[in-house]
């Protein structure tokens, strides 16, 4: 996916791993080896108040909102691919703000 996305691709880490620099560096080395080019994450989402799927989705949404504000409307639409397991939790009606998440479409609508 990273290779196919091309030069305008930004890879953002939202995992709990971002709290442990050694784990992030190990992951970057493994991705570099797989891509056969040096790799570093372009950014990380903000801190999470707890390790729940709701907070993870909210954190991703906050990051994207801030990023879109920073780049401005003149930049046009933003294409996003989110690979997230939400702590291996089913989409069974958890709530993020006023949004109920029961499908991947609900999560996409939220972000």
Rounded CA gap, 100 and 46, in Å? 22
Residue with tokens 């998440």: 101
Rounded CA gap, 41 and 25, in Å? 9
Residue 77: per-residue pLDDT:
85
pLDDT beneath 70: ranges in the chain: none
23 within 8 A of 17, measured Cβ to Cβ: yes
Residue 19: per-residue pLDDT:
84
Residue 93: per-residue pLDDT:
92
Residue 34: per-residue pLDDT:
96
Reading the block at residue 24, the tokens are 């992030």
20 within 8 A of 44, measured Cβ to Cβ: no
Phi, psi of 57 (to 5 degrees): -65, -40
Residue 37: per-residue pLDDT:
94
Residue 75: per-residue pLDDT:
86
The residue among 110, 85, 108, 80 whose CA lies nearest residue 11 is 80
Quote the pTM value: 0.85
Phi, psi of 94 (to 5 degrees): -70, 160
What digits encode the pLDDT tens for the residues 67-91? 999 998 888 888 888 888 888 899 9
């Amino acid at each position: 996916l990273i290779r196919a996305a091309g030069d305008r691709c930004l890879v953002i880490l939202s995992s709990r791993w971002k709290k442990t620099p050694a784990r992030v560096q190990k992951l970057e080395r493994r991705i570099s080896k797989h891509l056969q080019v040096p790799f570093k994450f372009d950014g990380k989402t903000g801190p999470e108040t707890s390790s729940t799927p709701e907070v993870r989705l909210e954190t991703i949404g906050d990051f994207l909102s801030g990023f879109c504000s920073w780049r401005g409307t003149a930049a046009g639409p933003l294409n996003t691919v989110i690979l997230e397991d939400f702590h291996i939790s089913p989409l069974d009606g958890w709530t993020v703000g006023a949004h109920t998440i029961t499908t991947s479409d609900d999560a996409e609508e939220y972000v």
